[in-house]
């Protein structure tokens, strides 16, 4: 990896780490418990520190595993025993740091400890050429030792410039094919749960990504495409558009663009048996001595 690119990955990681510490302070010290305000503060902090969001901050609570970011009017308040998964993405010139942590005002319990230990043990065995199924084996064994299950249909993933899910996936079970390559960046992302160990799509999406351009008649839909192009293939939030559009027309335009295959919707993911879910994640650049950019 070229030195200039490596420095951008490292800078993104430094910003992500600082923003996660800021988020932890806001939640644990109960300085900001409204999830809409929390999301806005986290993303503003990313910009303040010189980065840009690589995706809308995910604030997924309890049985919601991923892809939840608040919209205007989502006045959910974090409660003492909630499992609050904060998933933060930062990019510097397109080079991404992806990190996540689970918080609980009442204190860290075994489920959260399990997620952190899964990540810790996975990072210990990272080296060029390791098979992804070996990472999954280690992760799943930690979950079993704690008496929990991994979420089998959520995975880690490769990272490339302006590409959040590039190349191979990194399962949380001992399956799949592929190896980690020297000089490439990956998000190692284990999830554990008190439930059955799988997630399903809800019927609601609040995060989208431009995947193709097609002619559309609705002016609002055309404007959304132009805005989406500015993110260069990275996901964006419905919340980011709400200040510029009439809410009814925004909803119609987003639905039209999804139905036409212009936008990919990231549906909110929920554990199939409503089990609580905890997540931990770091970004690592594979080398003989791996570089974990988000610690």
* Whether residues 24 and 111 fall in one domain: yes
Domain count, the chain: 2
Query: In whole angstroms, what is the distance from residue 142 CA to residue 280 CA?
Result: 13
* Whether residues 288 and 177 fall in one domain: yes
List the catalytic residue out of 116, 220, 281, 282. Answer: 281
13 Cβ neighbours under 8 A, 6+ residues apart? 90, 97, 99, 283, 292, 293, 294, 295
Determine if residue 15 is left, alpha or beta; phi over 0 gives left, psi from -120 to 50 gives alpha, anything else beta. Answer: alpha
Q: Is 98 a catalytic residue?
A: yes
Share of the chain above pLDDT 90, in %: 97
* Cβ-contact 44, 78 below 8 angstroms: no
Containing structural domain, residue 23: 3-200+274-292
* Joined tokens for residue 169: 């996936």
What average pLDDT does range 69-91 have in this prediction? 96
Query: Is it the case that residue 149 has pLDDT exceeding 90?
Result: yes
* Joined tokens for residue 17: 């780490």
* Cβ-contact 52, 18 below 8 angstroms: no
Query: In whole angstroms, what is the distance from residue 248 CA to residue 234 CA?
Result: 25
* Whether residues 195 and 207 fall in one domain: no
With CA atoms as reference, report the closest residue to 17 among 65, 44, 49, 39. Answer: 49
List the catalytic residue out of 67, 91, 157, 282. Answer: 157
Q: Is 181 a catalytic residue?
A: no
List the catalytic residue out of 165, 181, 242, 287. Answer: 165
List the catalytic residue out of 14, 87, 117, 220. Answer: 87
* Cβ-contact 287, 108 below 8 angstroms: no
List the catalytic residue out of 14, 43, 98, 117. Answer: 98
List the catalytic residue out of 189, 220, 271, 282. Answer: 189
Q: Read off the pLDDT of residues 254-273 as tens digits, 9 standing for 90 and up.
A: 999 999 999 999 999 999 99
Distances (CA, A) of 27 to 6, 17, 30, 89, 131: 31, 15, 5, 18, 37
pLDDT at 195: 98
What average pLDDT does range 216-231 have in this prediction? 97
* Whether residues 192 and 74 fall in one domain: yes
What average pLDDT does range 141-161 have in this prediction? 97
Q: Is 91 a catalytic residue?
A: no
* Whether residues 138 and 251 fall in one domain: no
Q: Is 165 a catalytic residue?
A: yes
Q: Is 82 a catalytic residue?
A: no
pLDDT at 167: 86
What is the side-by-side strand order in the sheet with 156-160?
163-170, 156-160, 185-188, 282-285, 291-292
Query: In whole angstroms, what is the distance from residue 38 CA to residue 104 CA?
Result: 15
Domain CATH code at residue 245: 1.10.10.10
* Joined tokens for residue 249: 């027309």
* Whether residues 11 and 153 fall in one domain: yes
* Whether residues 131 and 228 fall in one domain: no
Q: Residues, the chain, total?
A: 295
Q: Read off the pLDDT of residues 11-39 as tens digits, 9 standing for 90 and up.
A: 999 999 999 999 999 999 999 999 999 99
Q: Can you say how many angstroms the Cα of residue 131 is from the centroid of all Cα atoms in its chain?
A: 23
Domain CATH code at residue 94: 3.90.230.10
Averaged confidence pLDDT in the chain: 97
* Cβ-contact 3, 87 below 8 angstroms: no
Q: Is 67 a catalytic residue?
A: no
pLDDT at 176: 87
Query: Is it the case that residue 1 has pLDDT exceeding 90?
Result: no
- Report CA Rg, the chain: 18
H-type helices in 73-173, by residue range? 110-124, 132-146
* Whether residues 139 and 253 fall in one domain: no
Query: Is it the case that residue 75 has pLDDT exceeding 90?
Result: no
* Whether residues 192 and 227 fall in one domain: no
Q: Read off the pLDDT of residues 172-222 as tens digits, 9 standing for 90 and up.
A: 999 988 999 999 999 999 999 999 999 999 999 999 999 999 999 999 999
Query: Is it the case that residue 170 has pLDDT exceeding 90?
Result: yes
* Whether residues 176 and 58 fall in one domain: yes
* Whether residues 185 and 211 fall in one domain: no
With tokens 């410039």, the residue in question is 161
**pTM summary value:** 0.96
Start-to-end C-alpha separation, the chain: 20
* Whether residues 39 and 151 fall in one domain: yes
């Amino acid at each position: 990896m070229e030195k200039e690119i490596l420095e951008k990955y490292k800078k993104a990681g430094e910003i992500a780490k600082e923003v996660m510490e800021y988020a932890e302070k806001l939640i644990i010290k109960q300085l900001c418990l409204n999830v809409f305000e929390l999301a806005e503060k986290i993303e503003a902090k990313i910009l303040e520190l010189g980065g840009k969001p690589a995706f809308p901050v995910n604030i997924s609570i309890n049985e919601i595993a991923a892809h939840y970011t608040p919209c205007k009017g989502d006045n959910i308040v974090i409660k003492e025993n909630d499992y609050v998964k904060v998933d933060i993405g930062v990019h510097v010139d397109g080079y991404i740091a992806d990190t996540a942590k689970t918080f609980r005002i009442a204190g860290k319990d075994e489920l959260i400890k399990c997620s952190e230990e899964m990540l810790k043990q996975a990072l210990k065995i990272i080296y060029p050429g390791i098979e992804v199924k070996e990472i999954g084996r280690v992760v799943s064994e930690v979950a079993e030792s704690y008496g929990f299950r991994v979420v089998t249909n959520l995975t880690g993933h490769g990272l490339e410039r302006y590409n959040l899910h590039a190349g191979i996936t990194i399962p949380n079970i001992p399956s799949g094919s592929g190896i980690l390559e020297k000089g490439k960046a990956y998000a190692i992302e284990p999830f554990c749960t008190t439930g059955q160990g799988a997630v399903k799509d809800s019927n609601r999406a609040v995060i989208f990504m431009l995947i193709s351009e097609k002619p559309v008649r609705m002016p609002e839909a055309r404007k959304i495409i132009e805005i989406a192009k500015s993110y260069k293939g990275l996901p964006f939030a419905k919340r980011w558009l709400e200040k510029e559009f009439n809410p009814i027309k925004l909803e119609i335009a987003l639905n039209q663009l999804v139905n036409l295959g212009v936008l990919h919707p990231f549906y909110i993911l929920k554990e199939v048996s409503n089990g609580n879910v905890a997540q931990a994640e770091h970004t690592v650049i594979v080398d003989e001595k791996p570089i974990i950019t988000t610690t």
